[in-house]
Homo-oligomer: A and B are copies of this chain.
């Protein structure tokens, strides 16, 4: 295989695209929270350090949810302690997901500098996952946001089910914009639109981004949080780039899952996103080879024989990559 061209993204810029974007890595939180295997805190810390070494500068590390709700993330304080201890995340923006005021208190005690809050565009998801009606969940997220801002923390806001909902079907862009605007007004610097079940197609992206714009949330404050359940995530990213969005959530190795389609693919894989962005001539600061090595390392820790990233799978099939 030595005569083989080592595959790397072919670079060709398309008109109207940004020269740099933010890749927001959610693997340690959104990815690992879906794992039934217990991942030791030391392994999580090493995972975060390897991501940082691969160039990750925006990292959602864990969540301060009640330990009984998501046991996989019950070690949030210990993980932050371990990461603080060795300085391996110096220069990395680390974010923790916070479901409520109690979580905010825990995060402040732990010395967290940025939190993420979560609301839902639909009534059904809010009731099933946020223990509240849609509007009450949004109000709670806005309250946590305001309290965090008062305490000097930065805040990022998720709007789940921003395109389609497993119970309600297509979601009205105006309904998404209403929740997004509430979080934005409360002090969220970025609104991350979650295609939680991966059903969105590219035509929706511009429509929803436009609806947020009309409600006062500009594209430069919007992130796209895609799931690749139906293979659509990257084309949605491309549509979002064309609509002016410059921040994208992804999970290394596609870690995570779709709770409504067991066995299906979860989050958009960071490696696949980075391949496309680099191919479009967009700077990410990320080292694709190091990401793939980290992905392979973590898959081994999780006992996985397959990686839900097509880039990682293909590059690992080339023996050059891991030598």
Contacts A4-B166, A9-B201, A10-B204 hold; do A232 and B276 have CB atoms under 8 A apart? yes
Say yes or no for A152: interface residue by CB 8 A criterion: no
Interface string of A1-25 (1 = CB under 8 A from B): 0011101111111100100000000
Contacts A12-B207, A204-B10 hold; do A228 and B310 have CB atoms under 8 A apart? yes
Complex Cα distance, B8 from A170, in Å, reads 10
Contact call A230/B7, Cβ cutoff below 8 A: yes
Say yes or no for A85: interface residue by CB 8 A criterion: no
Copies in the complex: 2
Which chain B residues border A4 with CB–CB below 8 Å? 166-167, 260
Among B8, B203, B231, point to the contact of A272 (Cβ < 8 A). Answer: B231
Interface positions of A from 183 to 232, Cβ below 8 Å from B: 197-204, 206-207, 228-232
Contact call B310/A265, Cβ cutoff below 8 A: yes
Interface size class of A (residues with CB under 8 A): 35 or more
Contact call B166/A281, Cβ cutoff below 8 A: no
Among B14, B170, B279, point to the contact of A206 (Cβ < 8 A). Answer: B14
Contact call A13/B230, Cβ cutoff below 8 A: no
Chain A to chain B contacts (Cβ below 8 Å), 6 pairs: A5-B166, A14-B203, A201-B278, A232-B279, A235-B237, A238-B239
